[in-house]
Structure 1
């Protein structure tokens, strides 16, 4: 009898705790956005650099163990001169032996007025030679507190001579 009374008391306390946290956080919201990563992989001010791997001057995306770091400006439009809303800061690691997968670890650090100081943490295995790659949104801060969802990446423009590409990202996140 005492065991069943203890279980009931524990479940009641757990329910109160869960409900009180839900009230503090507010309603779950969904935010979807299309963003454009302005990626400079060469030239005088690169925003993506290779820090390990082949050292013959060429980026080696398909070599196992190659690590890249990035700090791309993120804009609301395709054109690099459109309004900047965030920075994409993080790293990519070629994590498949055959070079087909890059592990992505990126923080979207928002700089625009609406979301300034908020972040989204994006992480996952990205099949780097697929047209569209999907990874998880695993967390968020600020306006995206406790965020979770998914993000797709698609390289929609590349200019090898200028060492420049534009990556479109569609992000859907549930948050409080």
Structure 2
């Protein structure tokens, strides 16, 4: 009887060992699971990653005949920080601090007052370029902007066109702020890794 059971036990153990080895091989090699697969970046035309620095001026115009920032949600009436305010933007991006400087793109998105204790904005915007080889490409920024700080840093979370898979950060410095109109000109330095 022991002679009959022993081969059966050995065969069962071999079968279990084979299944475990096969499963671990699938996990280790990254086999196709039906909805995801590994790709070689060269197949998508990606070459060596590079770091670029862009510098331009962002013009947020709230008043006049052609505002570039429009409130879509008013702030709470009992707040000193404009908490709850949401403005949609289509702000020009220029080479120099004057609005008449050469237009290189537009900042499109929104900002919202997201702090009850200070003037702190949630910035969600695409820098949509319209100049040179970057025409049609975008850099996407999403982050916190503590407006009263001299320098604010926000992350670059992606992009499109020449900025696919982009990452990096921006530094914003207020150049001019008109307290009466709320209009602002802000210098942006963008440091972005891209292919």
Whether the TM-score (by the shorter chain) exceeds 0.5 is: yes
Q: Which sections of structure 2, spanning at least 5 residues, go unmatched?
A: 1-16, 32-36
- Map of 1:21 onto structure 2: 41
- Map of 1:71 onto structure 2: 90
- Map of 1:51 onto structure 2: 72
What is the aligned counterpart of 2:130 among 106, 111, 118? Answer: 111
> Are 2:28 and 1:11 aligned?
yes
Q: Give 1:160 shift.
A: 4.3
> Are 2:58 and 1:41 aligned?
no
Structure 1 or 2: more strand by fraction: 1
- Map of 2:146 onto structure 1: 127
- Map of 1:168 onto structure 2: 187
Q: Give 1:49 shift.
A: 2.1
Q: Give 1:143 shift.
A: 0.7
Deviations 1:121-160, CA, capped at 9 Å, x for gaps: 1001221221211111101100111111111111112344
In the superposition, the TM-score normalised over structure 2's length comes to: 0.76
- Map of 1:158 onto structure 2: 177
What is the aligned counterpart of 2:53 among 21, 29, 32? Answer: 32
Q: RMSD of aligned C-alpha atoms?
A: 2.5
In the superposition, the TM-score normalised over structure 1's length comes to: 0.84
> Does the C-alpha gap of structure 1 residues 78 and 141 become closer, same or farther in structure 2, counting only changes over 3 Å?
same
Larger Rg: 2
Q: Secondary structure at the match of 1:152?
A: strand
**Aligned equivalents of 1:91, 1:61: Cα separation in 2:** 20
Q: Secondary structure at the match of 1:117?
A: coil
Looking at both structures, which has the greater relative contact order when contacts are Cα pairs under 8 Å and sequence separation is at least 6? Answer: 1
Q: Give 1:18 shift.
A: 4.7
Q: Give 1:168 shift.
A: 0.3
What is the aligned counterpart of 2:168 among 149, 165, 171? Answer: 149
Q: Secondary structure at the match of 2:162?
A: helix
**Aligned equivalents of 2:82, 2:183: Cα separation in 1:** 21
Q: Give 1:62 shift.
A: 1.7
> Does the C-alpha gap of structure 1 residues 13 and 52 become closer, same or farther in structure 2, counting only changes over 3 Å?
closer
Q: How many residues align?
A: 171
